[in-house]
Structure 1
Amino acid sequence: MTQTRTRLERGRGVLGQALTLVHTGQAPTRAVLTSELGVTRATAGAVAAELESLGLIRVDTHPAAPAAGTHGRPSHGLSVDPEGPVVLAAQVHVDGYRAALVGLGGHVVATAPGCMTPPEDPAGVIGEVVEAGARLLRGSTRRCVGVGLAVPSAVSEPEGEALDPLNLAWSIGAPVRAAFTEQVERAGLSGPDGAPLPCFVGNDANLAALAEHRHGAGTKSRHLLYVTTGHRGVGGALVLDGRLHTGSGGLALEVGHLTVDPGGRPCRCGSRGCLDVEADPLAFLEAAGRAPGPQFSLLHQAARLLREEYADEGVARAAGLLADRLGLGLAGLVNILNPDRIVLGGLHAALLTADPDRLHSAVARRSLWGRGVALLPSGLDHAGLVGAAEAAWQPVLDDPLGALGE
């Protein structure tokens, strides 16, 4: 057995870890990869070469000279292969869908938005978004290695059923994973060897949290708490050491049902004053004395009001009220979960941007550890969509050789 082969055999156990480091931007050079993996330089070189041979990364064989004042040889640069495989990511929301081809590194290669009122049968809108993705693939030469779908509902594991489709007309327990898998097969999507593509379905807030942790405002965080609000309601997720904490059945972190005002609005969960009804776009519009219109989603209307009319006294007062309610809920979560970073999405990100001191103060004032927690707005435009791609990429990140059939 050659020395190179021996090094490669030694390093194959860390191929997935190495790919994840390049995928998340944590190993921009072979020297950093060597350090992060805790292997020899030769083994790291063999690992990088293997990932390059799989078409997943590129190794710069002509590295630039070291910066002035530094020592040692320049290290080979590492990056994801811009012509490498992709996954098909899809997201369903209250007024339509979006499909995209997403490469390693969270790079959106192509996207196709669509507007429609999702029908009561999930297969209708899922079929539309899958077909939109199939058209993107037909116009691409890239190899597809998986498909992922984000939906605005808690999704049970392992059944793949939508248990809380608040904003959609779907029935509780709708079999979204089965419908998604069926539509992918019907569209004729398969791997290069003709095998069915692995299909993944998850809650949009969970998947957005994963995307933010790997490519957005949550990078380098160990314990990331993500809280967001879309059209209606409040969602959240927790990422621990790079993995989503989903609980025993995929239903963990229903942060929207934290009580922040015991005498407040009735919530569909049976309680009163939950974040779900006290800190979402509808609550903001009502607090600002604005009647919601039919033209756009509530999130769009609330975000535009906050952005364009924050100087209005009533709008500013409503924003402060929501910030206080959100801060109260976040403070409780900080006391329980002790995250090192909180990332806010949707309208909550806009609230933080409009008055960061108010929200920081609300969290710090009511929690034991709140002063030491970084509080940041989302760093991604389509976090749920990128998160759906992350779910589809996960088998490749875990075992590149096994997932790609090499």
Structure 2
Amino acid sequence: MTQTRTTRIPRLERGRSALGPALELVHTGQAPTRAVLTAQLGVTRATAGAVAAELEALGLISVDPHPTAPAGAQGRPSHRLAVAPDGPVVLAVQVHTDGFRAALVGLGGRIVATAPGCGTVHADPARVLGEVVATGAELLRRTGRRCVGAGFAVPSAVAEPEGTALNPLHLAWEAGAPVRDIFQRCLDEAGIPGPTGAPPVTGFTGNDLNLAALAEHRHGAGRGARHLLVVGTGHRGVGGALVLDGRLHTGSSGLALEVGHLTVAPEGRPCHCGSRGCLDVAADPAALLAAAGRTPGPESSLLHQAADLIRTEYAADPAVREATGLLIDRLGLGLAGLVNILNPDRIVLAGLHRVLAEADGERLRGVVADRSLWGRSGSVPIEPSTLDHNSVVGAAELAWQPVLDDPLAVLGG
């Protein structure tokens, strides 16, 4: 996976080297005005103005030409900065056990257009990716937006540097499928133009929970955290990710934080990994429905069925309340072990785990505090994720990273 750098910016004097850091500050909402941009970059006001003007000329940001100051504010008003509302986009796609989603995502993590596809995921990843990329290409044609990259959120650990899906346990895909190469081939066949107008656009791949963590750290509930732990369950299974000092921690080969295989119910259901009672099978949507005595229906995804069950029947149905409490206890036990090992300064919960935290966050925080050393000595904030489709937004972050690194190089300067 492409590594992402910390947003702590060295002092810069002038020139092209300031464009990438400046764009990242606007992209992540850390520079809402030119005065803040000047201070964050450590440059002169004139240099910050020139940098903002260059980014505006590239179509990436907008600069308010008529600065105003809030009522009662002291000093000279500053030009407001924002991502360009009609600027370029990236194509971001996610595949999960119940289908896929294609989206066009602009700077700032803004989803410009999206199209879900539901149904059985074919055992051939090339067929699935061909369909989702074709859906994305249609979104691009319909909106007329310029595409500068593409990212794919994979429901599996992705080995680096090979770009292979090592354990797509909840899909029928072969272990070791070369998903990065397949994704790039589908982009090539779709003829999606790259940033300079000529195909092919470049595709990037990453594990879906890693990408969700990246999105939450840049645009969501993880903003400002130095050591962010994200744990979540989407349609099947449980994943985790860690952001350390602004960078995804993916391990030596992209396989770190496979938290789904922490044992939290030793006598529980068999897991795909060969163990029993792992978070992967003890705290996902299927586990919630089973514990509540509900049979999954065909009308929507398991994630939506489980989340709707808690949101609509938790207060009135004792069986739903008991099942929710059971999953909270299992999740809390897993989080406590992770807190003991990783000592994060914030935990963000995604997918169904966000809904569990919303239902009874006090119970969850109590389990983590009781079962973890660091939880007893000082509570670790546990927050629900704030981004819808955070894995999709994270896939877009992969595709945006080359532009953030050097806007002129990517956009033909």
**Structure 1 residue identity aligned to 2:390:** A
Provide the C-alpha distance between the structure 2 equivalents of 1:76 and 1:49, rounded to a whole number of angstroms. Answer: 11
Note closer, same or farther for the CA distance 1:167–1:51 as it changes in structure 2 (3 Å cut).
Answer: same
Of the three residues 186, 198, 207, the one matched with 2:189 is 186
Aligned equivalent of 1:345, options 344, 350, 357: 350
- Does structure 2 retain, via aligned residues, the 8 Å contact 1:118–1:124? no
Counterpart code for 2:364? L
Q: What is the identity, as a one-letter code, of the residue corresponding to 2:295?
A: A
Corresponding residue for 2:320? 315
Which residue of structure 2 lines up, in the alignment, with residue 255 of structure 1? Answer: 259
Per-residue CA deviation, residues 204-243 of structure 1 (Å, 9 max, x unaligned), is 1111111111111112222211111122210111112322
Question: Does residue 1:299 correspond to 2:312, yes or no?
Answer: no
- For 1:1-400, list aligned pairs within 5 A: 10-68=14-72, 70-191=73-194, 192-310=196-314, 311-370=316-375, 371-400=378-407
Give the aligned CA root-mean-square deviation in angstroms: 1.7
C-alpha separation between the residues in 1 aligned to 2:70 and 2:351? 42
Secondary structure, aligned partner of 1:26: coil
Q: Which amino acid aligns with 2:391?
A: G
| Cα distance in 2 between the residues matched to 1:326 and 1:92 | 24
User: Which residue of 2 is the match for residue 3 of structure 1?
Assistant: none
Corresponding residue of 1:4: none
2: CA distance, partners of 1:42 / 1:338: 43
State the shift of 1:66 in Å.
4.1
Structure-2 change in CA distance of 1:308 and 1:369 (3 Å): same
Counterpart Cα distance in 2 of 1:142 and 1:231: 30
- 2:59 is matched by which residue type in structure 1? G
SS state at 1:372 partner: coil
Q: Which residue identity lines up with residue 146 of structure 1 in the other structure?
A: G
Structure-1 separation of matches of 2:355 and 2:133: 31
CA 1:145/1:177 → structure 2, altered by over 3 Å: closer, same or farther?
same
Unmatched segments (≥5 aa) in structure 1: 1-7
Write the distance in 2 (CA, Å) between the matches of 1:85 and 1:216. 21
TM-score, normalised with respect to structure 2: 0.93
- What is the TM-score normalised by the length of structure 1? 0.94
Residues 291 and 186 of structure 1, relative CA distance in 2, 3 Å threshold: same
Unaligned runs of 5+ in 2: 1-11
**What percentage of residue pairs aligned between the two structures are identical?**
72
Give, in whole Å, the separation in 2 of the partners of 1:270 and 1:50.
Answer: 55
1:195 deviation in Å?
4.5
Tell me how far apart the structure 1 counterparts of residues 275 and 69 of structure 2 sit (CA, whole Å): 63
Checking the alignment, whether the CA contact within 8 Å between 2:67 and 2:77 is kept in structure 1 is: yes
1:342-381: per-residue Cα shift (whole Å, max 9, x none)?
Answer: 1111111111001111011111111222343211111111
Partners of 1:141 and 1:288 in 2: how far apart? 47
* 8 A Cα contact 1:150 1:385, kept in partner: yes
Bigger shift: 59-68 or 14-23?
59-68
Does the CA contact (< 8 Å) of 1:98 and 1:114 recur in 2?
yes
* CA distance 1:40–1:111, shift in 2 (3 Å): same
